[in-house]
Homo-oligomer: A and B are copies of this chain.
């Protein structure tokens, strides 16, 4: 029996193999994704973002356990671009898998940045597609911070949760930096710590303004993930957001936008490969580089010239 057949039967080892295949962009992996595509679209995607040390993973794991107890199938993708230093991607999987071992329908996958050929955000979305096609009901994608990768991931999610901790410092600064635009649900975790009230008050006053302008409630949930406190409330707010965007048509619009972005990225990545294989290999890049180093050319003018000659469009 082929790996794909096993995958379609729900074999978890086959799932891991398919994900690795996609992550490594093996031959014809896009054909494989095309075959899986019609099976996707049923999973609801939840993005979690927050600083390292905010207890985000614990929060995600507790939410996943809860969903699993309710007979939902859950996939977790942990994206950690700084993982080599924190040990995240390398050690995280195994530790988390052990904690979740009694929850058979929860699958955890960390995305190592290295080896992510197509860009981290693109690969993350492809892995989400695989989990979706595998039959997961919920896919939770964890990211750190709000860089471009994280924004791309947030746009690929249906509901985005942002996690703060009392130590987060100047939350208003974080707000200004773009979190305000991407978050649907706000969490303050570790509320047993000093400073919890201050950050909650601060966030509430910012959210007031936001709530006035838009119809969604932008809830702020207090949690202590490690003590399993507030998880029920968090789930209920996420589901409320799901209901809200399903009913007012936003979810449909989001999904449509997601497909359009996918399509553009697929075309760009194909063109990039064609460039690498059929164009760059025919150019005498060495000669140009030597001219540039001699001060007789510059890469901007050379690029312009080469494209003019190719007369692509």
Contact = CB atoms under 8 A, between A and B. Distances in A.
B145 A83 contact: yes
A282 to B, nearest CB: 10
Contact of A293 (B148, B255, B295): B255
Interface in A262-295: 262-264, 266-268, 270-272, 274-275, 278-280, 285-286, 288-290, 292-293, 295
A91 interface: yes
A107 to B, nearest CB: 23
24 contacts: A41-B295, A52-B82, A82-B82, A82-B144, A82-B145, A84-B146, A84-B173, A84-B177, A87-B170, A87-B173, A90-B176, A91-B173, A113-B146, A256-B286, A256-B290, A256-B293, A259-B299, A260-B288, A263-B302, A267-B303, A267-B306, A274-B313, A279-B313, A312-B312
Interface size, A (range): 35 or more
Interface stretch (A28-36, A198-206, A225-233, A242-250): A28-36
A303 B263 contact: yes
- Listed from nearest, the 4 A-B pairs whose CB atoms lie closest are A84-B177, A37-B298, A82-B145, A34-B300
A179 to B, nearest CB: 7
A275 B274 CA distance: 14
A266 B313 CA distance: 17
A313 B307 CA distance: 12
Count of chain copies: 2
Interface in A63-90: 81-87, 90
Q: Is the interface of A mostly helix, strand, loop or mixed?
A: helix
A151 interface: yes
Nearest to A266: B303
Contacts of A33: 300
